[in-house]
């Protein structure tokens, strides 16, 4: 399909979009704090990937190449928010007050939202390693293959993230 | 609160089990596992409409509205954008720095945005500057700003105003001839670039939309 698009068949790109639309949506949502933000990021990434398709050196590995474009987009979004002084702050990323939760669901839901909020307080690099390992279920070796870096450096990043999350969630876990 | 014990970190990494921790670390280990238990691993499915939006953007991204002398237009151009279109090939122009933008963006729901294609930046010529009309279709937005090189990226300096009740926001600026980078800021926090317009890296890994006015557009072709 990549070769067909590069050969001028633009409409074939729709097949790539359809095939890979959801593959990294969860990664983007956890990185950015909401599904809406992930949708924007994935859309932008597909358009950018189209612009740069000639630079895709391994057409058979479009997914891996596309992931790196989406990753850059997610990192840039977080840096931009930091520069503009605005946090992600979407409603779905805010901890839900316990009083709003039905009995029995309070702890689990509150923890889920509290953790999501705490993840957004990590550096993008720390958050990414956490998301890839504990949301996507990748091993350190797989993470290193996907985003580069050594396993020891990824572990160090993750361990700092653990400590930061513990500090951030000290009253919630 | 102190850092997790290294053994607890190994527990979180999946290299140890809780039973393998010494008794004095059992409580800390249990607390750490509660953290992981709260991880949201639910799948995120994006709407199928995203496919069409991407393809629409790709099909129309090269369409721009050409410069037309203001003297040839009545003030009606403000409410009736030009329908003339210019096809350019930004990929043949280096970093896509030679096209006027086509901007129509849609805000989906109270927090979400979906970019839409369509011509909305209308340009009319003045001797040393150009009138540029920016349009954003964002029915869910409470406020929309335009930030760019022309206003020092001040997101509150150039607010768009609602044009009717159909979710269209608009602002018209006089811009000096030259290239300008810009983006929309919705509700004071969401940065929106235009997928249908040329864009360049902003130095932070993301892109800004680009409009080139003045000498780069002449009589329906890019010079």
Distance set, CA B100 to CA A75, B41, B111, B161, B211 (Å): 28, 42, 28, 21, 5
The whole-number pLDDT of residue B169 equals 80
Q: Which tokens hold the place of A99?
A: 């009083």
DSSP three-state, residue B189: coil
Chain A: give the shortest CA distance to residue B46, in Å: 6
Scanning B129-188 for CB atoms below 8 A from A yields 155, 185, 188
pLDDT of B8 strictly over 90: yes
pTM here is: 0.56
* Interacting residues of A13 by C-beta distance below 8 A, sequence separation 6+: A1, A5, A50, B54, B55, B58
Q: Which of the pair, A166 or B94, is modelled with greater confidence?
A: A166
What average pLDDT does the segment B20-31 reach? 94
| Residue found by looking up tokens 């350019």 in the block | B88
The whole-number pLDDT of residue B103 equals 41
The whole-number pLDDT of residue A105 equals 42
pLDDT of B123 strictly over 70: no
The domains of chain A are located at 1-89, 94-173
**C-beta of residue B217 within 8 angstroms of C-beta of residue B93:** no
CB-CB neighbors (< 8 A) of B189 in chain A: 81, 84, 86, 89
Chain B: give the shortest CA distance to residue A111, in Å: 6
pLDDT of B100 strictly over 60: no
CB-CB neighbors (< 8 A) of A11 in chain B: 55
Long-range CB pairs of B19-24 (<8 Å, 24+ gap) are: none
Highest mean pLDDT among A24-38, A83-97, B183-197: A24-38
Per CATH, the number for A1-89 is 1.10.1740.10
Q: What is the DSSP string of B28-78?
A: HHHHHHHHHHT---------THHHHHHHHHHHHTTEEPPPEEGGGS-GGGG
Q: Which chain B residue's Cα is nearest to A85?
A: B189
Which pLDDT band holds residue A85 (cuts at 50, 70, 90)? low
Helix and strand tally (H, E) in chain B?
Answer: 3, 16
Among the partner residues A51, A72, A170, nearest to B205 by beta-carbon distance = A72
The mean of the pLDDT values for chain A is 83
The whole-number pLDDT of residue B132 equals 78
- Asked if the C-beta of B92 comes within 8 angstroms of chain A's C-beta atoms, the answer is no
> Same topology for domains A1-89 and A94-173, yes or no?
no
Q: Which chain A residue's Cα is nearest to B91?
A: A51
Which pLDDT band holds residue B109 (cuts at 50, 70, 90)? very low
- Asked if the C-beta of A128 comes within 8 angstroms of chain B's C-beta atoms, the answer is no
> Phi then psi for B102, rounded to 5 degrees?
-115, 120
The whole-number pLDDT of residue B165 equals 73
B34: nearest Cα among A34, A150, A148, A108? A108
pLDDT of B13 strictly over 60: yes
What average pLDDT does the segment B45-66 reach? 73
Q: Which tokens hold the place of B12?
A: 């979180």
Biggest CA–CA distance in chain B, Å, is 85
CB contact under 8 A, B45 and A80: no
pLDDT of B15 strictly over 80: yes
CB contact under 8 A, B44 and A50: no
CB burial of A133-162 (b: ≥16 within 10 Å; e: otherwise) equals bbbeebebeebbebbeeeeeebbebbbbbb
The whole-number pLDDT of residue B154 equals 78
Highest mean pLDDT among B35-39, B114-118, B124-128, B205-209: B35-39
Among the partner residues A42, A89, A166, nearest to B46 by beta-carbon distance = A42
Among the partner residues A44, A137, A158, nearest to B193 by beta-carbon distance = A44
Residue ranges and CATH numbers for the domains of chain B are 6-37 (no CATH), 49-222 (2.60.40.10)
- Asked if the C-beta of A52 comes within 8 angstroms of chain B's C-beta atoms, the answer is no
Burial of A55 (0-12, 13-18, 19+ CB in 10 A): exposed
Interface contacts A/B by beta carbons within 8 Å: 160
Lowest mean pLDDT among A16-20, A82-86, B48-52: A82-86
**C-beta of residue B17 within 8 angstroms of C-beta of residue B7:** no
**B181 beta partners:** B210
The whole-number pLDDT of residue A24 equals 92
Highest mean pLDDT among A28-37, B106-115, B174-183: A28-37
Q: Which CATH number fits domain A94-173: 3.90.1150.10, 3.40.50.620, 1.10.10.10, 3.40.50.300?
A: 1.10.10.10
CB contact under 8 A, A162 and B109: no
Scanning B14-53 for CB atoms below 8 A from A yields 31-32, 34-48, 50-51, 53
CB-CB neighbors (< 8 A) of A1 in chain B: none
Lowest mean pLDDT among A27-36, A69-78, B50-59, B111-120: B111-120
> Phi then psi for A169, rounded to 5 degrees?
-110, 20
CB burial of A17-41 (b: ≥16 within 10 Å; e: otherwise) equals beebbeebbbbbbbbbbbbbbbbbb
Scanning A2-41 for CB atoms below 8 A from B yields 10-11, 13-14, 17-18, 21-22, 25-26, 28-30, 34-40
- Helix or strand (DSSP H, E) at A146: helix A140-147
CB-CB neighbors (< 8 A) of A75 in chain B: 205
Residue-wise pLDDT tens digits, A117-149: 899 889 999 999 999 999 999 999 999 999 998
CB contact under 8 A, B207 and A86: no
- Asked if the C-beta of B9 comes within 8 angstroms of chain A's C-beta atoms, the answer is yes
DSSP three-state, residue B135: strand
* Interacting residues of A171 by C-beta distance below 8 A, sequence separation 6+: none
């Amino acid at each position: 399909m990549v070769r067909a698009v590069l050969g001028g068949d633009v409409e074939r790109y729709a097949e790539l979009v359809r095939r890979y639309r959801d593959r990294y949506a969860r990664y983007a949502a956890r990185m950015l704090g909401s599904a809406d933000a992930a949708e924007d990021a994935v859309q932008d990434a597909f358009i950018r990937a189209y612009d740069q398709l000639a630079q895709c050196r391994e057409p058979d590995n479009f997914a891996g190449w596309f992931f790196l474009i989406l990753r850059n987009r997610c990192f840039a979004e977080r840096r931009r928010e930091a520069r503009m002084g605005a946090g992600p702050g979407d409603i779905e990323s805010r901890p839900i007050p316990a009083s709003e939760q039905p009995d029995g669901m309070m702890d689990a839901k509150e923890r889920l939202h509290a953790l999501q909020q705490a993840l957004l307080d990590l550096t993008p690099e720390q958050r990414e390693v956490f998301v890839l390992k504990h949301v996507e279920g990748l091993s350190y070796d797989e993470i290193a293959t996907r985003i580069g870096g050594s396993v020891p450096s990824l572990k160090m990043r993750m361990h700092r993230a653990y400590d930061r999350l513990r500090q951030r969630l000290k009253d919630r876990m | 609160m102190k850092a997790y014990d290294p053994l607890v970190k190994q527990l979180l990494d999946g290299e140890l089990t809780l039973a393998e921790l010494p008794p004095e670390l059992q409580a800390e280990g249990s607390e750490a596992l509660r953290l992981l238990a709260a991880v949201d691993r639910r799948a995120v499915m994006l709407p199928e409409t995203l496919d069409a939006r991407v393809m629409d953007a790709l099909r129309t991204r090269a369409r721009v509205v050409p410069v037309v002398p203001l003297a040839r237009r009545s003030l009606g151009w403000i409410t009736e954008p030009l329908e003339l279109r210019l096809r350019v090939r930004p990929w043949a122009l280096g970093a896509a720095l030679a096209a006027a933008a086509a901007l129509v963006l849609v805000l989906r729901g109270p927090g979400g945005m979906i970019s839409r294609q369509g011509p909305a930046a209308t340009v009319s010529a003045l001797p040393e500057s150009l009138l540029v009309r920016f349009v954003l279709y964002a029915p869910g937005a409470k406020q929309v700003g335009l930030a760019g090189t022309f206003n020092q990226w001040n997101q509150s300096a150039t607010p768009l105003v609602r044009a009717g009740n159909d979710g269209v926001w608009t602002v018209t600026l006089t811009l000096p001839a030259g290239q300008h980078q810009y983006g929309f800021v919705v509700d004071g926090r969401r940065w929106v670039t235009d997928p249908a317009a040329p864009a360049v890296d902003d130095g932070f890994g993301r892109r800004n939309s680009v409009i080139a006015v003045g000498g780069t557009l002449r009589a329906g072709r890019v010079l």
